[in-house]
Amino acid sequence: MQPALRITFKLIPWLLCAAAVVFLVRAVKWHDHVHLNDADGTLVRLVEERDDGFLIERDGRRQVVAPDAVRRVAGGLPDINYGIASVVRGADLMDMVWALLLFAPVPLLQSLRLVWMLGIQEVRLSLWQAIKLSFAGNFFNFALPGTTGGDLIKAYYLTRFTHRKTEAVTTVFLDRVVGLLGLVLLAGITMLSRWDTQAFGNVAGIMGLACAGLAVAALFIFSRRLRHAIRLPELAAKLPAGEHLLRVGRATVAMRKQKSLVAASLGLTAVLQFLVMVSAFAMARALNMRGDFTLYLVYVPVVFLIAAVPIAPPQGVGILEFFCVQFFAGGRLNSDSQAFVFALAIRLIQLVWALPGILVPLLGAHLPTQGELASLERADGEAATATK
């Protein structure tokens, strides 16, 4: 690739994030604002709501306007855009605590799924080791590009526990694919069960692309005829590190032979993803956001799918917030500031439950013990004997 083209590709994600941040700076307000009931729906700062009207600030001057001077929305409520300060002050602390606690089982369920997925590849890992590696991976997701960078760290740590290193690394990324598949299914089934063109039409394209990509991937995984028809194994064998590529392919195809474990992993994914959605909905309630549970079952997974695309800045700064504003503040359902604070809040929930992961590398808990190393050496010896 030409240097100029390579630089361009590296700049694109940063430019996208910069554009998202600029939009958020312009759209999200610290103070409350209200739309006046004039032809232009003029937006002015709201200083105070009073019984006899509204104290506003316009062109640096404060004045009280009558109640009928303010534009109304559905239900006769004044069209107020609550700022960040009011959103935070008005948040229900108990609901926020519930949102945090509802997320607690998620890392543990992720760890159990990893154990099951590794079992498909005949890689043995204890649940306790899986919990430690999952927490470490979740923590590094906040320090590396995108929201999936921690998978690289988790895969590297995992290779210390098995001689089947290629299969172990492949499993980490297959585990991520199963997680993303769970998000797509959750959002897709919810959309189909309660289809509303006005509400969900703007995400139909995203879901369509995601489903098409997963369908193509499934064909290559489960169709031996298709792989051989395009001579994929022969092509992989001729490439550099061809043997590793073939082992990756075999590790992927092994899922077809362990349908029960794959089905169990998908079922577990559905449970943990549902918990994530319930946690997010509880946080939305804490922030006094409108919209029923169905809305969050569709839009939160889509936001997470978009954030999972690896882009340069850690956690895709601005991208998740931008799409939360687009989805949850559209149609005057909630204020831009509410949607922005909601995005920060669901990030914070994940960060709180990822913080224990920093202790894993600091305490050396990511490394196998002497006993585990001895078991690994015995497994290596047995594998070498079996191949003679």
- DSSP secondary structure, 125-137, as one string: --HHHHHHHHHHH
Q: Which of 222, 137, 214, 146 is nearest to 172 (CA)?
A: 137
Q: How confident is residue 345, by pLDDT bands cut at 50, 70 and 90?
A: very high
Residue 388: its pLDDT value, please? 45
Parallel, antiparallel, or unpaired for β 33-35 and 80-81? antiparallel
Q: Do residues 338 and 286 touch, judged by C-beta distance below 8 A?
A: no
Q: How confident is residue 109, by pLDDT bands cut at 50, 70 and 90?
A: very high
Is pLDDT of 96 > 80? Answer: yes
Q: Between residues 103 and 301, which one has the greater pLDDT?
A: 103
Q: Between residues 22 and 350, which one has the greater pLDDT?
A: 350
Q: How confident is residue 165, by pLDDT bands cut at 50, 70 and 90?
A: confident
Query: pLDDT tens across 290-324, in order?
Result: 888 888 888 888 888 777 766 555 566 777 788 88
Is pLDDT of 284 > 90? Answer: yes
Is pLDDT of 370 > 50? Answer: yes
Is pLDDT of 113 > 80? Answer: yes
Q: Considering the chain, what percentage of its residues have pLDDT values greater than 70? A: 68
Residue 276: its pLDDT value, please? 92
**Of the spans 23-37, 47-61, 270-284, which averages the highest pLDDT?**
270-284
Residue 298: its pLDDT value, please? 83
Residue 256: its pLDDT value, please? 66
Per domain, the residue ranges of the chain are 95-387
Residue 244: its pLDDT value, please? 45
Global pTM exceeds 0.85: no
Q: Whole-angstrom Cα distance, residue 159 to residue 252?
A: 17
Residue 38: its pLDDT value, please? 78
Residue 26: its pLDDT value, please? 74
Q: Considering the chain, what percentage of its residues have pLDDT values greater than 90? A: 10
Q: How confident is residue 19, by pLDDT bands cut at 50, 70 and 90?
A: confident
Is pLDDT of 92 > 80? Answer: yes
Count of alpha carbons within 13 angstroms of residue 54, beta-carbon side: 22
- Which residues neighbour 315 within 8 Å (Cβ) at sequence distance 6 or greater? 141, 142, 146, 147, 307, 347
Matching residue, tokens 């309660």: 194
Q: What is the largest CA-CA distance in the chain?
A: 91
Q: Detail the DSSP E strand segments found in the chain.
A: 33-35, 43-50, 53-58, 61-65, 80-81
Residue 117: its pLDDT value, please? 83
**Of the spans 19-28, 57-66, 224-233, 314-323, which averages the highest pLDDT?**
57-66
Determine the average pLDDT of the residues in 249-263: 68
Parallel, antiparallel, or unpaired for β 33-35 and 43-50? antiparallel
Q: Between residues 140 and 380, which one has the greater pLDDT?
A: 140
Query: pLDDT tens across 180-231, in order?
Result: 777 777 777 777 766 665 556 566 666 667 667 766 766 666 666 666 665 5
Residue 384: its pLDDT value, please? 40
Determine the average pLDDT of the residues in 339-362: 88
Residue 242: its pLDDT value, please? 45
